Amino acid sequence: MDTTELKNKFTEIYGESKEQIHAFFAPGRVNLIGEHTDYNGGYVLPCALDYGTYLLVRKCDKKHISLTTTEFEYAPTIPLDLIHEKHGQEWVNYPLGIIDQFRKLNSQLQTGAELLFSGTIPHGAGLSSSASIEMVTAVALNDIFSFGHSLVELIQLSQRAENDFVGMNCGIMDQFAVGMGRENHAVFLDTDTLDYELVPVKLKDHKLIISNTNKQRKLTDSKYNERRTECEQALEHLNKEGQAFKNLGKIEYTQFQKVQERIPDPVLQKRARHVITEDKRVIAATQALNSGDLETFGRLMNESHDSLRDDYEVTGKELDTLVDEARKLEGVLGSRMTGAGFGGCTVSLVRAEATEAFISQVGKNYEAKTGLKPEFYTTLIRDGAKKINI
């Protein structure tokens, strides 16, 4: 649905009014490298996508807010004094979580509002449709109610909305990429300090292809939280002998090798090793991207996936099959899972002329091995969340 159609849909749902309709867009994200490091104070390197969430919003003089989306039927109108209650597992918990966080910062909605969302991010693909809804709501309400929060504050409150209101214990990567992304740039972010740098993504005659396993991700949240706990336990063991590592992310690998025996459980040791080696790979990959060395970048993507498969154990048959089939093809420089894992998508760096062969060959072989039909997106890197004209 384009923005003119959306505007028509908005007035069809909510009717005409003297109040102005404002429009916003927040993208989804793909992470190029640096997986499961963001809750360990490590580095990440995501980019914002051209897929994302539109939000049309208008103030109204009633004491309620109305939430509608072009994607789901559930469209409640909620009195302002009840907007801080959770609605089961419904999509509205994302915008409501944002309103709740604004309230905690003393930024209260002064009037009611009417909202229409419309998303283009494939659901359950791990391309951050939730961070996209959160950030588009945060940027929009901050603008129309003149709350005056900075973009970094909006990013942080969006993460808290997901942690506290929705109940998913995510790190800050997704909201940061969705907020700070820039066209044709990746965001090199230190998740400990929130220092970041925009890194030009010059792919020359290559493309990034996102491949969706289309596997239903059922256990993602519980497995994700389990990995977080394992990292906390590994850090506790490392700090047993009076050492005070702040987080796993910033431990040097050589230092880790000297102290890893303090972690008695080999599984916890592997989890820590992934985080620590992945962090080094993000730094090396960022340097490779800066110097236009795509071969090295691709190799690091492969190493990242292998570490997520063997040490962190968050891949599974579908992601591994997609990656294995991709790597068999001429013209594929690197391929890895992206996002939380257990399903969702891979990202591959592919010579432009091999794109068609990639889609047909990988598609055919993956389907033959898993019985699932994959989907492919040749994505563009776009700007982060912003106000748009309609």
Residue type at 11 in one-letter notation: T
- CA quadruple 279, 281, 287, 288: dihedral, nearest 10: -160
Residue type at 359 in one-letter notation: I
The DSSP result for 221-273, as a single string, is HHHHHHHHHHHHHHHHHHTTTS---S-STT--HHHHHHHGGG---HHHHHHHH
CB 228 to ligand GLA: min, Å: 8
**How far is the C-alpha of 298 from the C-alpha of 350, rounded, in Å?**
9
In 265-344, where do the E strands start and end? 332-338
Candidate ranges 5-13, 109-117, 142-150, 166-174; the one touching ligand GLA (CB under 6 A): 166-174
- Which residue shows structure tokens 């492969």? 302
Range 47-62 burial, b when 16+ CB lie within 10 A, else e: bbbebbbbbbbbbbee
Give the nearer residue to ligand GLA in terms of CB position, either 38 or 318.
38
Candidate ranges 31-39, 196-204, 207-215, 250-258; the one touching ligand GLA (CB under 6 A): 31-39
Which one of 23, 55, 136, 173 is in contact with ligand GLA (CB under 6 A)?
173
Q: Does 179 bind ligand GLA (CB under 6 A)?
A: no
Give the nearer residue to ligand GLA in terms of CB position, either 171 or 384.
171
- 221 noted as active-site residue: no
Give the nearer residue to ligand GLA in terms of CB position, either 117 or 312.
312
CB 297 to ligand GLA: min, Å: 18
CB 104 to ligand GLA: min, Å: 21
- Which residue shows structure tokens 């570490």? 307
CB 231 to ligand GLA: min, Å: 11
Give the nearer residue to ligand GLA in terms of CB position, either 170 or 187.
170
Give the nearer residue to ligand GLA in terms of CB position, either 295 or 310.
310
Give the nearer residue to ligand GLA in terms of CB position, either 23 or 30.
30
Q: Are 97 and 166 in contact (CB under 8 A)?
A: yes
Q: Does 38 bind ligand GLA (CB under 6 A)?
A: yes
Handedness of CA 163, 338, 314, 289 (dihedral sign): negative
- Which residue shows structure tokens 């970048």? 297
Candidate ranges 10-18, 80-88, 171-179, 250-258; the one touching ligand GLA (CB under 6 A): 171-179
Which one of 6, 27, 33, 36 is in contact with ligand GLA (CB under 6 A)?
36
**How far is the C-alpha of 139 from the C-alpha of 143, rounded, in Å?**
6
Q: Which of residues 282-341 bind ligand GLA (CB under 6 A)?
A: 339-340
Q: Which of 174, 279, 311, 320 is catalytic?
A: 174
CB 75 to ligand GLA: min, Å: 26
Up-side HSE of residue 105: CA atoms within 13 Å toward CB?
20
Give the nearer residue to ligand GLA in terms of CB position, either 52 or 112.
52
Tokens at residue 281, please? 């790979």
Q: Does 174 bind ligand GLA (CB under 6 A)?
A: yes
**How far is the C-alpha of 141 from the C-alpha of 130, rounded, in Å?**
17
- Give how many residues touch ligand GLA by CB under 6 A: 10
Candidate ranges 3-11, 36-44, 108-116, 244-252; the one touching ligand GLA (CB under 6 A): 36-44
Q: Does 171 bind ligand GLA (CB under 6 A)?
A: yes
CB 223 to ligand GLA: min, Å: 11
Q: Does 230 bind ligand GLA (CB under 6 A)?
A: no
CA distances from 89 to 86, 94, 96, 137, 168 (A): 8, 10, 12, 18, 12
Which one of 6, 27, 35, 206 is in contact with ligand GLA (CB under 6 A)?
35
CB 339 to ligand GLA: min, Å: 4
Give the nearer residue to ligand GLA in terms of CB position, either 185 or 336.
336
Cβ neighbours of residue 274 closer than 8 Å, sequence gap 6 or more: 36, 307, 308, 311, 312
Q: Are 280 and 253 in contact (CB under 8 A)?
A: yes
**How far is the C-alpha of 59 from the C-alpha of 231, rounded, in Å?**
44
Which residues form the catalytic set? 174
User: Which chain residues interact with ligand GLA by CB under 6 A?
Assistant: 35-36, 38-39, 170-171, 173-174, 339-340
